[in-house]
Chain A
Amino acid sequence: MASLFRTRLLAFVKRLPAGKTRAEFLTNFALLIITLMMLLPIATTVLVSFKREEDVTRNPPVLFPCDTPTSSFDLTACRWSLEGYERVFLAKADKTAPLGFILQGRMVNTYLPNTVLYAVSTALIVMTLASLAGYAFSRYQFRGHDALMFAILAITGVPLLTNLLALFQMGISLRHLPIPIYNDRVFIIIVYTGFFLPMSIWIAKGFFDAIPKELEEAALIDGCSPVQGLALIVVPVITPGLTSIFLLVFVGVWNEFLAGYLLITKNDLKPAMFGMYDFLSQNIINAQVVAAACIIIAFPMVLVFLVARQSFFRAMVEGAVKG
């Protein structure tokens, strides 16, 4: 079958006009194969997440749960199921709840809301601090300007793993101090802010550098106050850049595992990646549950990426060029 496919393909390629069209077809074909190969592991995980336990624990394993005693693949006999998702959500009927049910799974009622809280607050704080600092570094020359910029760059070279030991001890000490409203949530948000700030400051400076200073000066000459100039001229131009930083930090915090796992003691405050790790140690045979949890955590990020990919690429190129 494979060889038949090959001869047909070769015949098809030969029939294409020589030169550009044929080269274009071959390139497209190669890219299609590569893209499909890259997506294959994700696709199988999606498939597993919609299987039933009997189909996940089959030996030898099957890719599609669509076989019947008489045929190896019958589309009408597919046994798709939401069992994995149900076991992550643990929905339970409840008359008093607004939608008529409540979700009891810790992943959806504890870990994911924690992750959303940490990711949104960190991204907002980093975006604010980085744009203030980035603006100052871009528009002012002051004593120690270059040394500070270099120090911030050097900080990005110290790995998270190195700082975790000290941050762990710091967390223990802070927990014992009588600080009002302080808990591990505050600590982890500050820690994440510290992790993502250096890179974000450099990216923000790059974005401000790209806006000509004359734009603000023209506004000042035309009678704007400095604050008006900033609000009416600079902010609209810089918004796409700030969005990029927000998204990059948001995804970074969402996907971070080690700090959330080690620096938070109470399970109620831990993020979704810990929930995933916990699931893995409990449900190792129930692959459909683990796969469903994977999809539930990863799907929002894939969606965000597909909607805002230009923003990601902008920040990535800006960040990568600077190191």
Chain B
Amino acid sequence: MGPNATASLPGSLPQKKAKPHRRFDWLPFLLILPAILVLLAIQVYPIFYTAILSVQTREPAGWKFVGFRNFGILLESSRMGESLGHTVIFLVGYVSLTLILAFIIALLLNQKTSFSGTSITFLFIPWILADIIAGVIFRLLVLPDYGVLSGILQNPALFPPNGLSVLIDNAPKPWFGSFPFPPAPAMIYLILAAAWRALPFITLLLLASLQTVSHEVIESSRIDGATGWQTVRHITIPLILPTLVVALFNLTLGGINGVGMVFSLTNGGPGTSTNVLSYLLFSLGWVDLDFGRAAAFALMLAVVNLALMGGTVLITRVQRSV
């Protein structure tokens, strides 16, 4: 859609000649230029650099081209497979828990009672905290023996046989081959902590969408005799479905990329029980110093991200055109 599109009429062929010759306007390009330069250096160049790194491996003599071997090794490695399992469990728990809780809280806030304004403000405080800080806060709660929650969790009477020590207990024996299910206590705790921090933003997203649902629709379903749950199930959820999907993608993206909380809460442990993909990528790059393989991994992660992002944009477009 250029400026010509608005001026063009069907059937007027010599468009360009008919238009008065105008000087090329440099101003918009000058305004955009500084931003574009920064983005080229910090966002675009690294992608190409990563792509080049991903087909190489570091040898004592220097970098050596190895084709797609890095990708092959990664996809076959058991470490990656296990980490993928952890990530799937984390994502399923984190996304579903956050969505359900956020939906319930948004429904309550949408009643616009006397307390809802104050409530939104205070509910949002976890969102403003850094993921590192949120991780530390949850870590302090379950410090072995001394954490405030440890007093309850480590009680053998409540959690037989030995009580629960979130930061120490290993995962139970997996039920399905090597898929890490049931998850370790640390993984469940990580899910709770991550959901806690994501809850405010998703609640706001859903609340904004709920406020577009017209009151008359809800009211008329009530008059027709629908119960509260029936109204939510058959009227509210279908009406805000696009936003629910956007929230789902948003959470999935955040869950895949978020690494700060793993850092400060569990450090990937105990053992490897919270070694999710983002943390594995960090370890590959900065613990193993295997930049070639880490780059291959990073590229795969970027593809997953772009796909989810594309999905979100598509849904938002469809939603707006309806």
Contact pattern, B 245-278, Cβ under 8 Å of A = 1, otherwise 0: 0100010010011011001100000000000001
Known contacts: A194-B41, A277-B132. The answer to whether A132 contacts B31 by CB under 8 A is yes
A140 touching B113, Cβ below 8 Å: no
B305 touching A166, Cβ below 8 Å: no
A165 touching B285, Cβ below 8 Å: yes
Contact pattern, B 127-167, Cβ under 8 Å of A = 1, otherwise 0: 01111110011111101011110110000000000000000
- Distance A27 CA – B110 CA, assembled complex (angstroms): 10
- Which residues of chain A are within 8 angstroms of B133 by Cβ–Cβ distance? 255, 273, 276, 294, 297-298
Nearest CB of A to B164, in Å = 14
Contact of B201 with A by CB under 8 A: yes
Nearest CB of A to B292, in Å = 10
Of A306, A321, A323, which is in contact with the most chain B CB atoms at under 10 Å from its CB? A323
- Which residues of chain B are within 8 angstroms of A62 by Cβ–Cβ distance? 151
Contact of B81 with A by CB under 8 A: no
Contact of A161 among B41, B114, B204, B257 (CB under 8 A): B257
Question: What does DSSP make chain B's interface, helix, strand, loop or mixed?
Answer: helix
A31 touching B306, Cβ below 8 Å: no
Contact of A235 with B by CB under 8 A: no
B136 touching A309, Cβ below 8 Å: no
Contact of A262 with B by CB under 8 A: yes
B138 touching A34, Cβ below 8 Å: no
Of A165, A191, A285, A297, which is in contact with the most chain B CB atoms at under 10 Å from its CB? A165
- Distance A35 CA – B105 CA, assembled complex (angstroms): 10
User: Which residues of chain B from 22 to 69 have any CB-CB distance to chain A below 8 Å in the complex?
Assistant: 25, 27-29, 31-32, 34-36, 38-39, 41-47, 49-50, 53
- Distance A27 CA – B130 CA, assembled complex (angstroms): 30
What is the total of A-B residue contacts with beta carbons within 8 Å?
280
Known contacts: A135-B31, A257-B130, A316-B204. The answer to whether A160 contacts B257 by CB under 8 A is yes
Among listed B180-188, B219-227, B230-238, B296-304, interface-contacting one? B296-304
Considering only CB atoms and an 8 Å cut-off, how many residues of chain A contact the other chain?
A: 99
Contact of B128 among A28, A146, A251 (CB under 8 A): A251
- Residue ID in chain B nearest A141 by CB atoms: B3
B119 touching A31, Cβ below 8 Å: yes
- Distance A167 CA – B38 CA, assembled complex (angstroms): 13
A61 touching B309, Cβ below 8 Å: no
Nearest CB of A to B184, in Å = 20
Nearest CB of B to A183, in Å = 17
Contact of A311 with B by CB under 8 A: no
Among listed B71-79, B87-95, B310-318, interface-contacting one? B310-318
B137 touching A42, Cβ below 8 Å: yes
Contact of B177 with A by CB under 8 A: no
Contact of A129 with B by CB under 8 A: yes
A197 touching B38, Cβ below 8 Å: yes
- Distance A262 CA – B309 CA, assembled complex (angstroms): 26
- Distance A197 CA – B132 CA, assembled complex (angstroms): 23
- Which residues of chain A are within 8 angstroms of B308 by Cβ–Cβ distance? 157
Contact of B18 with A by CB under 8 A: no
- Distance A302 CA – B130 CA, assembled complex (angstroms): 11
B138 touching A159, Cβ below 8 Å: no
- Residue ID in chain A nearest B154 by CB atoms: A60
A142 touching B35, Cβ below 8 Å: no
Contact of B100 with A by CB under 8 A: no
- Distance A56 CA – B144 CA, assembled complex (angstroms): 12
Among listed A5-13, A97-105, A147-155, A214-222, interface-contacting one? A147-155
Contact of A73 with B by CB under 8 A: no
- Distance A322 CA – B124 CA, assembled complex (angstroms): 21
B46 touching A294, Cβ below 8 Å: no
Contact of B291 with A by CB under 8 A: yes
Nearest CB of A to B281, in Å = 6
Contact pattern, A 196-239, Cβ under 8 Å of B = 1, otherwise 0: 01100100000000000000000000000000000000000000
A298 touching B129, Cβ below 8 Å: yes
Contact of A75 with B by CB under 8 A: no
B151 touching A61, Cβ below 8 Å: yes
Contact of A133 with B by CB under 8 A: yes
- Which residues of chain B are within 8 angstroms of A39 by Cβ–Cβ distance? 122, 125
B147 touching A61, Cβ below 8 Å: yes
Contact of B291 among A34, A165, A298 (CB under 8 A): A165
- Distance A313 CA – B121 CA, assembled complex (angstroms): 10
The 8 A-B pairs with the shortest beta carbon distances in the complex, nearest first, are A194-B42, A157-B309, A166-B46, A255-B130, A136-B31, A140-B28, A166-B49, A136-B28
Q: List 28 A-B contacts (CB under 8 A).
A: A24-B111, A133-B34, A136-B32, A140-B27, A142-B2, A146-B1, A148-B32, A148-B36, A153-B309, A159-B256, A161-B281, A162-B50, A162-B298, A166-B295, A169-B49, A197-B38, A198-B39, A255-B130, A258-B259, A262-B286, A276-B133, A280-B264, A287-B143, A287-B146, A290-B136, A298-B128, A298-B133, A309-B121
Q: Which residues of B contact A (CB under 8 A)?
A: 1-3, 25, 27-29, 31-32, 34-36, 38-39, 41-47, 49-50, 53, 105, 108-109, 111, 113-116, 119, 121-126, 128-133, 136-141, 143, 145-148, 150-151, 196, 199-201, 204-205, 208, 246, 250, 253, 256-257, 259-260, 263-264, 278, 281-282, 285-286, 291, 294-295, 298-299, 301-302, 305-306, 308-310, 312-313, 316
Please name 15 further chain A to chain B contacts, defined as beta carbons within 8 Å, in addition to the given A42-B137, A320-B208, A323-B309, sorted by A numbering: A27-B113, A27-B115, A31-B108, A35-B119, A42-B126, A48-B140, A136-B27, A141-B3, A159-B305, A162-B50, A190-B41, A298-B129, A302-B125, A320-B201, A320-B246
